[in-house]
Amino acid sequence: MSHPNAQEIAQALVDWFAVHGRDYPWRRTTDPWAILVSEIMLQQTTIPTVLGRYGAWMQQFPTPAHLAAASEEEALRSWEGLGYYRRVRALQAAARAIVQQHGGRFPTEERGIRALPGIGDYTVGALLSFAYNRPAPLVDANVSRVFSRLFNDPTPVDSPAGRKLHWKWAAGLVHPTNPRAYNSALMELGQTICTNGAPDCLLCPLRTWCHAENPAALPVKLPKKEITAVEHHDIFLLTPAGLLMEKQADGKRHEGMYRLPRRPAEFCISLPHLADQKYSITRYKVTRHLYQAPADTPPLPSEEFIPLSRLSATPMASPDRKIIQNHLPH
């Protein structure tokens, strides 16, 4: 499904990007591994945060072989502070597949890229267009916002029908010879001009063709899932053997990472209270109550004492590291 002015729209975006496109490290390379890493990092992390971490991360793991050879703990530790740790697991699984199935060379064909673990439609489009300059469509939240307005379409962008429609538009509009600049331009237009709320239409290279009647009302989204409040009761037990921690079992949200041990509220009620900590994860608003556990508290099978010398290399979520650091002796 295309727009009658598809060619002019695509060219206007490419021309606009040549003047206004931002310079990011991942736009200076055509190395598919470097591009994959940036795309995975950017999925749930802001550009300024990724800019602060990307260079050092790429130095630590400059090729798929480097990440494939790393331990799971090293990989998780390298991701600390970026959140959503399943991303680095998927990246490591992809790196191992590249080493084992492609001799360490990044696949160049769509089928090979799509078969890598953790790679979805968006990442396939990003790799094909940014690394290989092939005319592949790509849709993210920014692109969806631009499309909803350009076509003045009220279909919820996060519904199956909305997603299908937007991928069709993306395929119909992609620039045939400069998809690298075109896809970057489309995303950047959504980030800088066609933003949430009131867009800056006077500066928009697409205003000639845009049908949006009330851009601020678009895109339409499905109702949000409600925020759920949860409370955890965790214990702090530091002995000469180290700090008692629990390793997250396979299949759990933070699989392979460590956290402070958890106990039922009734167990903690008579223990000295050390601190409360509040943080958010996806749609959960978490309150953690931390208690000093008696020295003879028996560890559960999933728990172990981590020597203090190993603590900095032990993967854990940022809230855990923060509260632990606040309670370790200085």
Q: Which residues are catalytic?
A: 39
Residues in the chain: 330
186 binds ligand SF4 (CB under 6 A): no
Angle between helices 47-60 and 32-42 (to 10 degrees): 140
Nearer to ligand SF4, 209 or 267 (CB): 209
Phi–psi pair at 173, nearest 5 degrees:
-100, -15
Angle between helices 32-42 and 86-102 (to 10 degrees): 160
Give the residue among 143, 119, 144 at the shortest CA–CA distance from 131: 119
Which of the stretches 40-48, 61-69, 86-94, 204-212 binds ligand SF4 when contact is defined by CB under 6 A?
Answer: 204-212
Min separation Cβ 201 and ligand SF4, Å: 3
Give me 233's structure tokens: 């009761």
149 binds ligand SF4 (CB under 6 A): yes
Among 165, 210, 243, 323, binds ligand SF4 (CB under 6 A): 210
Q: Is 16 helix (H, G, I), strand (E, B) or coil?
A: helix
> Which residue is it, tokens 């060219």?
11
CA 185 to chain centre: 20
Which of the stretches 11-19, 123-131, 197-205, 272-280 binds ligand SF4 when contact is defined by CB under 6 A?
Answer: 197-205
Which of the stretches 10-18, 50-58, 203-211, 242-250 binds ligand SF4 when contact is defined by CB under 6 A?
Answer: 203-211
Q: Is 231 helix (H, G, I), strand (E, B) or coil?
A: strand
Nearer to ligand SF4, 113 or 193 (CB): 193
Among 51, 201, 238, 311, binds ligand SF4 (CB under 6 A): 201
193 binds ligand SF4 (CB under 6 A): yes
116 binds ligand SF4 (CB under 6 A): no
Cα distance between residue 184 and residue 193, in whole Å = 14
Residues in contact with ligand SF4 by CB under 6 A are 146, 149-150, 193-194, 199, 201, 204, 206-207, 210, 212, 215
